[in-house]
C-alpha cells in the first residue's frame, strides 16, 4: 500500500508541476495586462491572490491524496474483518 501511495503522490505532484508551468505564464501575462490597463496595485493584488490560490491547490492535493490512501487502507481492513 505504501508503494502505491508513493506512486499516487508522485503522480499528483507531477500533475501540479505541469499545471503550474502553464499557469505561471497565464498569470504573468494577465499581471502585465492588469498593470497596464488598470494600475500596478491591482496587478499586485491579483498576483497575491493567484499565489495563495496556487498554495491552496498544492496543500489540498497533498491532503487529498493522503486521505484517499488512508480511506483505502481502512476499507481494506474492514473488508478483511468481515470476509475472512
Q: What is the pLDDT averaged over residues 54-71?
A: 87
How many domains does the chain divide into?
Answer: 1
Domain membership of residue 58 as a residue range: 2-83
Are the C-beta atoms of 8 and 68 separated by less than 8 Å? yes
Closest CA to 62 of 8, 3, 4, 2: 8
* Residue 17 pLDDT exceeds 60: yes
Strand locations in 6-59, DSSP E?
none
Q: What are the cell numbers at 74?
A: 481502512
* Residue 82 pLDDT exceeds 60: no
H/E run at residue 84: none
Are the C-beta atoms of 34 and 46 separated by less than 8 Å? yes
Q: Which band of pLDDT confidence, cut at 50, 70 and 90, is reported for residue 75?
A: low
Amino acid at each position: 500500500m505504501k508503494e502505491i501511495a508513493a506512486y499516487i503522490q508522485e503522480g499528483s505532484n507531477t500533475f501540479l508541476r505541469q499545471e503550474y508551468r502553464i499557469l505561471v505564464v497565464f498569470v504573468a501575462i494577465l499581471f502585465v495586462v492588469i498593470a497596464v490597463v488598470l494600475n500596478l496595485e491591482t496587478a499586485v493584488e491579483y498576483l497575491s491572490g493567484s499565489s495563495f490560490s496556487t498554495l491552496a491547490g498544492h496543500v489540498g492535493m497533498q491532503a487529498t491524496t493522503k486521505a484517499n490512501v488512508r480511506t483505502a487502507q481502512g476499507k481494506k481492513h474492514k473488508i478483511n474483518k468481515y470476509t475472512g
